[in-house]
Structures are given as structure tokens and as C-alpha cells.
Amino acid sequence: MRSIYGVIFLSVALWGGFGTAQTVDILSGSHDAIILSDETEFEVLGQGKAYVRYSRKVQINNDEGKGYGIPGVSENKFIKKKKIDVRILSTDGEELKKYKNSDILKEDYSPGYSLYSDSRYQWINSTWPKFPYVVEYSTEAEMSTLFFWPDWFPQKNVPVLSSSYKLVLRDTTVAFRTHAVNMETSPKTIRSSSVSHIWNAALLPAFESEDYMSKNNSNRMILRFTPERFALENSFGHFRDWNGLAQWYRGLTADRLILPELIRQEVAALVNPDDDAKTKISKLYAYLQNNSRYVSIDLGIGGWQPYSAQSVFENKYGDCKDLSTLMVAMLDVVNIPAHLALTPTRDAINFIEEFPSNQFNHCIAVVPLPEDTVWLECTADYIPAGELPYSVEGAKVLVVEAEGGKIIQTPVSRPEDNLMTSRTEGRIGEDGALQMSGWFATTGNRSSYVRGRFIGVEIEKQQDWLRSRLISLSASRFDLAEFTVENLAENVDQPCVVHFSGEMKNFATRSASRLFLSPNVINQFSKKYPPEESPDERKFSVSFNYAFEDADTVYISLPPGYALEAAPPQETIESEFGTYRIEYELADNRLRYLRQFRLETREIPLEKYAAYREFISEVVKRDNMQFVLKR
């Protein structure tokens, strides 16, 4: 009998453990894959031994769905692969292929950034040339710690017919806690010589992403787990509160923050005794940036425990925790107290403050001055002291202090901190091309982005990016003649300035007596900029990397004898989300055009989505309106 999952439309109204009725429409042709069953089992034998097993059966419908049928196991000193079993079936259940151990592929994590690492990934590239097909696989790994207790992610980006999580406690003294995100479910509990808890979910619709959706929403339904106590090699800690994790981490790092006397003398010579605290911080931070590079060395507990400040200073490399440790140690030399801070980045899962657990993937340094708090991202080579990249702006971080720890939030940059200003001069030829030269200057996150397009990038790719950046919506291409960049890898506390010149083809469209053009060549919102979803369809808030501000001025010399016939209205549009202003004048065959845009916030809550979408649609409309000049 042919599998029903491949041929029929299934519409099921269900009342599950999630509290509301749902309707799931599953049609094989409309989904890249369908997960028929997805099972997780975590068997705990004690604090120092556990097994995690995954079993999945998934129908693959096209090339885009192949990834759902490729099993793998992440390994390090604490997690070791025991098995990967895979076979491919037809939708009728006929076995098409069974893979062997010799088919297992292995690769180290981040080989380009890791000097030494015991972390690697093992997987089987289980695919079949003819669709649809079914992949059935199971994996097993042995864990020597409960620190990395696996969570449950029942909902995927494709439909899931059945999902379960089974927790087997062979050691019934092991205590744990759970936290449900966007789901309500209670386990079935079975007690004998061991205790088993089983969570089930069924007929879950595909989780669909939206335009400008925060990465924090990438997994809609989650059940988080954490042990109350944990051991990592010979270090012990607890997750009963955040102090437990902070005290454990302080124990890992305390002896790593000490510099020997010769290095202390070298560090002390980097500052002047009369410098104020912020000047000393800036000088030592600049020294760290100029004399170290990011390299990961993850061996055993080294994924969490930093190398000593002395070794990082002498070897001139390290990862986030290593470089932050050196920064804190150098500040201690000049009598400025500083702390390590564990943080999740913006691409991590939602941080749950009321659920102390292993939720961090990054480390920075914090300096609590009497009049201010200075944050230091020690892996960033090209930002000034006190600035944070958007990836850790507004993050809840655990500051590790001598007596424990506390959760505080990093600051969020303002629109004026992420500024782009520009000035362009150009002349339109008889063929409609624009001969132009000018500059644009950036600050804050805008500078970080621009520097990332140039530093360490091949010249051809630099040119390609600049060409794509300098093109009006109405133009066909930009022929770049030359460019230079100021304050690229040096003077990073100053705006990064790009100077350019070249010719923009088909900038103006000509008719018998008219010219049609869009004057702004730096910042124009395309018609695709507003989120696609209507207010009735939107399910999540709108999220941007950061708030920002644009201020662009363009001067264009026209062929003789043209007057302005039609143009967008000169006006200022104000809303709680931002401000948009355009202003222009035509005098002596020279058009002056001013455009200003300010986005006030990086997060637009769902309840304000309709008003935001209306505001940004008005901005896009005016950015896309052409000037009409008549001879």
C-alpha cells in the first residue's frame, strides 16, 4: 500500500497538550519534507554518565528538504558518538539503501578559526536521487556530564506528525527542572526501579518565518531542561540560581587572571599615571586589538575555561573568553576593577532569566566605573572601547563577580550612534549617464559593517560591493573609476569614510522633452523593504539589527534648459517609529536633493506592526517616486 503521507491531503483538527485547537494541513507537494516521527531519549545513569538518542523518520519531497534526512552527532571530550544507523526507504516501505559505518563522514568544527579542538561533527550524507523518499535513522551518543542536557524542539520548519521526548532517570537522585516556551504540556510519568517522563506532541504545523523576524523566534516551541547540579571534569556547580553558575565560573577563571611581575610592568608602561580611567581603558583595549588575534582552542573543559592571561599575552591569540580574561587582568594592573561577563548573542535562543541554566555562547568584559559602565567586546578589532556590536546589544549577561554574579542588560545603541552621512556631486550627460564623485561616512554598527566589506577582502569583491551600494533604483549599473577609504583599520574611534567616483549608467531616462530620475544614489528603500505580511497575517514582532540614521545630500547638474515639472512632496513624515524628510530645489540647472531618515528603534512590537508598516510604506513610496524635468 502506498504511504498516505505522499499522496493525500490530510486536514486534522486536534486538541493536544498545547491548550488550543489547531488545524494542520499537510500536502506533500507543498512542503519540502514531512517529519513522520521524531523521538528524543535522554537516559541518565548519574552525574557523570548519560546517553542521548535521536530517532527520526522523514519523507523528503525535494532538494530543499534533503537536510531533514541527514543525521549527525556533535562530539567533544564530553560527548562521544556511539552509533549512526541510517537507511532509505521508498514511500511504500521498501528498503532502497542501508548505510555502513564506512559511510560516516567526519569534520572538525571551525577549522579556519580553531588552532586546536576536540570538537567535531560526524554525519552521513543520506540522500536519494528520486523524490519522494523516506529516511529512517537513529543516533546515539554517550555524555560524561549533564551540563549539556539536551532540550526538546518539537516544532520544525516542516510539518511534524509525531514528536516525543523521553527522559529516563536510572539515578533517581538526579534533580532537574524544565521551562516550556510557547507550549504547554505535561509528561506521562512511569515509576519502577527508574523513573521515566515522556512528553508527546502530534500534528505540529510547519513553523513559518517572516520578514525581519528576530532569530530568537526561529524555534517556536521549546522545552528547556537543566540539571540542578552538574560536573564538568573536576569542577562542580549548580543551576539553582545564577550565583551557582557565576561562582563555578569564577572558580574556573580566578587563577587565570594573574599576570607575572614582568608583564605587569610592561602593561603599566602602556598608560600614563595621570590618564583618567576611560583613557587607560581605551589605551589597553587598543593594545589588545593591535597585538592579538582571535583563535579558538577548545580542548575538554577549555570550551569554558580560559587560558591564563599570561599565556594569551605571550602567545598573542585566544578566543572570546581568553582575550576577555587578558583584558580584565591588564585593567587590574592599572587598578581598574573589571569582570568577565557571559552572554548569549542575538542568534542564540531566547534568554530566559527566570531559568538559570547553560544559556551562554560568548564572553565579554565589563568595567563598572563610578560614573559609567564600559563594555568591551574583546574579539572585535575595529571598534572603539565602549562600543558593542549589535550581536550583543541589549543582551542579558551574567556578570561574574568575586562573591557571585548578577544578570544585567547591555546597552542598546541609539539611531545617532549608527549614522551614515553622504555628499555626492554629479552631472547628467546627453545619454542620461551620471558622472559623479562623493563620499559617505559611517559610525557605530554602520562602520563595522562597512569595514567588514573592505578589511581582508579581495579588491574585486570590495569593488563589487561598492558598485552595488552606489546605484539608484532607476539606474542599470555603476562603473567605478576609483575609491579610497579613510579610518579603515586605524583610528577606529573616527567615522569610516569612503570616497568614490565613477559613472552611473542610465541614471536618467529621456523622452523627447523630459528627464526622469531618482536623485538619491546612497540610501533608497526598494519596494521590497516593507514586510510582506499584512497586519492580519503577521505573527511576530519586527526586528532590525540596530536603530540608525541617514543624512544624504546630492547635487546634480542638468543639461541646459530644464525646469522641474513633477516631484515627490517636500515634507517631513513623523511617527513613533522614526522620521523621514526630503527637501530639494532647482536653481541654475543644478538640483539639490536632501534626504533624511531615522529609525528610532530596532524592535517593533506586534501590536504596533500595522502602524509601522503604514509608515514605512509611505517612506518607500516617496523613495521610489521619480523627479520629472521638462525642457
Supply the pLDDT for residue 182. 86
pLDDT at residue 110 tops 60: no
Supply the pLDDT for residue 218. 57
Average pLDDT, the chain: 90
Task: Give 571's contacts (C-beta < 8 A, 6+ positions apart).
Answer: 581, 582
For residue 359, the SS3 value is coil
- Pick left, alpha or beta for residue 214 (phi over 0 → left; psi -120 to 50 → alpha; otherwise beta): beta
Q: At what angle do helices 277-290 and 320-333 cross, to 10 degrees?
A: 140
Distance, in Å, from the CA atom of 39 to the CA atom of 543, rounded to the nearest integer, reads 33
Distance, in Å, from the CA atom of 84 to the CA atom of 73, rounded to the nearest integer, reads 8
pLDDT at residue 1 tops 80: no
Count Cα atoms within 13 angstroms, Cβ side, for 202: 8
pLDDT at residue 601 tops 70: yes
Work out the pLDDT band at 17, boundaries 50, 70, 90. very low
Question: Residue 183: which of 210, 202, 158 has the closest Cα?
Answer: 202
For residue 328, the SS3 value is helix
Supply the pLDDT for residue 296. 72
- Pick left, alpha or beta for residue 240 (phi over 0 → left; psi -120 to 50 → alpha; otherwise beta): alpha
Supply the pLDDT for residue 385. 96
Question: Which pLDDT tens digit goes with each residue over 457-503?
Answer: 999 999 999 998 887 666 678 899 999 999 999 999 999 999 999 99
Report how far apart, in Å, the C-alpha atoms of 151 and of each of 36, 122, 347, 568 are. 20, 20, 17, 53
Distance, in Å, from the CA atom of 15 to the CA atom of 488, rounded to the nearest integer, reads 58
Supply the pLDDT for residue 298. 58
Task: Spell out a b/e string for 382-405, using b for 16 or more CB atoms within 10 Å of the CB, else e.
Answer: bbbbbbbbbbbbebbbbbbbeebb
Distance, in Å, from the CA atom of 247 to the CA atom of 277, rounded to the nearest integer, reads 28
Cell triple for 125 = 550524507
Supply the pLDDT for residue 446. 97
pLDDT at residue 299 tops 60: no
Q: Cis bond leading into 132, ω under 30°?
A: yes
Global pTM?
0.89
Q: Write the DSSP symbol of residue 110.
A: S
Supply the pLDDT for residue 302. 58
Distance, in Å, from the CA atom of 492 to the CA atom of 384, rounded to the nearest integer, reads 6
| Contact (CB, 8 A) for 616 and 530 | yes
Question: Which pLDDT tens digit goes with each residue over 215-263?
Answer: 666 557 899 999 999 999 889 999 999 999 999 999 999 999 999 999 9
Q: Report the amino acid identity of residue 119.
A: S
Supply the pLDDT for residue 185. 80
Q: Write the DSSP symbol of residue 531.
A: -
Question: Which pLDDT tens digit goes with each residue over 27-69?
Answer: 445 899 999 999 999 999 999 999 999 999 999 999 999 999 9
Supply the pLDDT for residue 136. 98
Strand-pairing partners, residue 86, are 137
Task: Over range 120-130, report the average pLDDT.
Answer: 94
Question: Which pLDDT tens digit goes with each residue over 161-212?
Answer: 999 999 999 999 999 999 998 888 889 999 988 999 999 999 999 988 888 8
Other CB atoms within a 10 A radius of the CB of residue 456 amount to: 7
| Contact (CB, 8 A) for 296 and 113 | yes
For residue 384, the SS3 value is coil
Cell triple for 76 = 567533544
Distance, in Å, from the CA atom of 118 to the CA atom of 76, rounded to the nearest integer, reads 5
pLDDT at residue 312 tops 80: yes
Task: Give 62's contacts (C-beta < 8 A, 6+ positions apart).
Answer: 32, 131
Task: Over range 293-305, report the average pLDDT.
Answer: 71
* Phi, psi values for residue 191, rounded to 5°: -115, 130
Supply the pLDDT for residue 209. 85
pLDDT at residue 578 tops 70: yes
Count Cα atoms within 13 angstroms, Cβ side, for 602: 20
Distance, in Å, from the CA atom of 156 to the CA atom of 56, rounded to the nearest integer, reads 13
More confident residue, 72 or 4: 72
| Contact (CB, 8 A) for 329 and 257 | yes
Residue 86 parent element (H or E):
strand 79-89
pLDDT at residue 138 tops 60: yes
